[in-house]
Amino acid sequence: MPSTHFYGGNATIAGWGLSNNNTVSQILQTATTIILTKNDCETRISNIMEETASLDDIYMCSIADPYVLLNYGDSGGPVIYNGNIIAINKGTCPLRKNTVNTLEVNVHLNIDVLEIQDYPFAINTVILNLLLSQQVLSCMNTDEYIHFHLSGSED
């Protein structure tokens, strides 16, 4: 079961992903976000996708106002709450379609829930062989070489 004491709190996300003008940053970018409850995250994703979404406990979501969304290259970066890393950046949900939807959520892997034998890590916390729930398969991973679809197939 995930820790819930940080829900509604401010967390800093960090990464070297593409900026709004599609350039790679030369410095680490950070932003303050709000951690959503699992129910708020599922509701937000369900409303955008117009179908019911159910997230596994390994995922947590964040938002910001004005909006801040993870981009290509940000996965593997930390989510920091009160000076502690609580999660790892994974991507955004739902899948981005050439335009930014400011209602999208940032999706992170909750490190309180991850089990090393089930979710092996490589250097720089890039996650390999991660089993995703069917609902999250419509979300976008921030690494260009991985792209999941509702069908469960990988490109």
Q: Is the pLDDT assigned to residue 40 strictly greater than 50?
A: yes
Q: What is the mean pLDDT of the chain?
A: 74
pTM over 0.75, yes/no: no
Q: What's 138's DSSP letter?
A: G
Q: Is the pLDDT assigned to residue 2 strictly greater than 70?
A: no
* Residue 95 pLDDT grade (very low, low, confident, very high; cuts 50, 70, 90): low
- Predicted pLDDT at 120: 46
- Predicted pLDDT at 114: 61
CA gap 113, 3 in Å, rounded: 8
Residues in the chain: 155
Q: Is the pLDDT assigned to residue 136 strictly greater than 50?
A: no
Note the CATH number of domain 10-141.
Answer: 2.40.10.10
Q: Is the pLDDT assigned to residue 119 strictly greater than 50?
A: no
* Percent share of the chain, pLDDT over 90: 31
